[in-house]
Structure formats: C-alpha cells, structure tokens
Amino acid sequence: MHASVGDSVVVHGRTVGSHDRKGEILEVHGPGGTEPFLVRFDDGHEALIFPGPDLSLVHHEHGQAPRADLAPSS
C-alpha cells in the first residue's frame, strides 16, 4: 500500500457494534510511500500503523478533490 502525507485512512470496525476510526497520515516511514504510517485519528490519538485488510485509504492529490480507494487493500 502506498500513501502520502495528508492522505486519510479509515479503519473499519471488525466486530458488530464497532465503529470505524478515521485519521490523517502525518508521516510515511517506509521507502517509496509504503508502511508504516504515523496516523492522527479523529480523537487526537496518534499511532504508528501497518495497514491490514480492514483499512481503506483516501488519496488526496494536490489541487484536486479527494479520490477514494474504498476497497480494502492487501
């Protein structure tokens, strides 16, 4: 999975009643835009994450509207 600073993530709830968590990528630590990513979630919590199949990435291209990549990536 490739991402850039400023892209958004959605971590989908894995169990019934779990809510999705949304956040923004602050730093990309892997080569060429790969994981791990430092993410600040909507609740202010920051975490270093390695995306799994429950994560969707929303790319933000400079000067354009966000483009959603909502299919879970592997």
User: Do the domain assignments include residue 2?
Assistant: no
The model's pTM is 0.77
Phi and psi, residue 35, nearest 5°:
-65, 160
- Residue 62 lies inside a defined structural domain of this protein: yes
Domains contained in the chain, number: 1
Q: Is residue 3 a part of any domain in this protein?
A: no
Does residue 42 lie within any of the structural domains?
Answer: yes
Token reading at 37: 């990513």
Name residues whose C-beta falls within 8 Å of residue 55's C-beta, 6 or more positions apart in sequence: 1, 9, 10, 11, 12, 49, 72, 73
Q: What residues in the chain have per-residue pLDDT under 70? A: 62-74
Asked whether residue 17 is domain-assigned, the answer is yes
Range of the domain at 22: 8-69
| φ and ψ at residue 31, rounded to 5 degrees | -70, 140
Residue 62 confidence (pLDDT): 56
- Specify if 12 maps to a domain: yes
